[in-house]
Amino acid sequence: MEIDTHEVQGRVKVTVLQPKGELDGRTYQQLIGKAQELYGAGARDMVLDLGEVRFLSSSGLVALHSIGRLLQGREILDPEAGWSALHTIEHEVSGKQPLNQHLKLVNPQPAVDKVLQMTGFKQAFEIYAGVEAAVAAF
């Protein structure tokens, strides 16, 4: 998976990540690793542009959740923890408020949008049509 990144200055500096391809069991750790690298370098507000993500699996959902937790300064769940990790994710995304004010999602393609809707992630994250709108929301 290729992941482009750049920064945009709004009211705060925002880091934009744009993964390309499929976000699945083969690639999700790469996206988490990139977010961790950027967080380690000082990034605290991120936009994840899903415009070029063709497919989103349950592992991809783990990546979204993990990046959200990272930006909250919380420990990332170990996906190898099995059901306990999945139950934690389910509990956290079922809340009434967006999961994280430091991560916005942008431009999910129809297949990805459907997965976000079916799993409750669409209610757990703020989703915008474009990067400019997402950056302005910080």
Q: Could you report the per-residue pLDDT of 57-69, keeping only the tens digit for each?
A: 988 999 998 999 9
Q: Are 62 and 35 in contact (CB under 8 A)?
A: no
Q: pLDDT tens for residues 75-100?
A: 887 766 655 666 666 666 665 555 57
CATH number of domain containing 115: 3.30.750.24
Task: Give the pLDDT score at 78.
Answer: 73
Neighbours of 127 (CB within 10 A): 19
Number of domains in the chain: 1
Mean pLDDT score of the chain: 89
Task: Give the pLDDT score at 90.
Answer: 67
Domain of 111, in residue numbers = 2-136
pTM of the complete model = 0.88
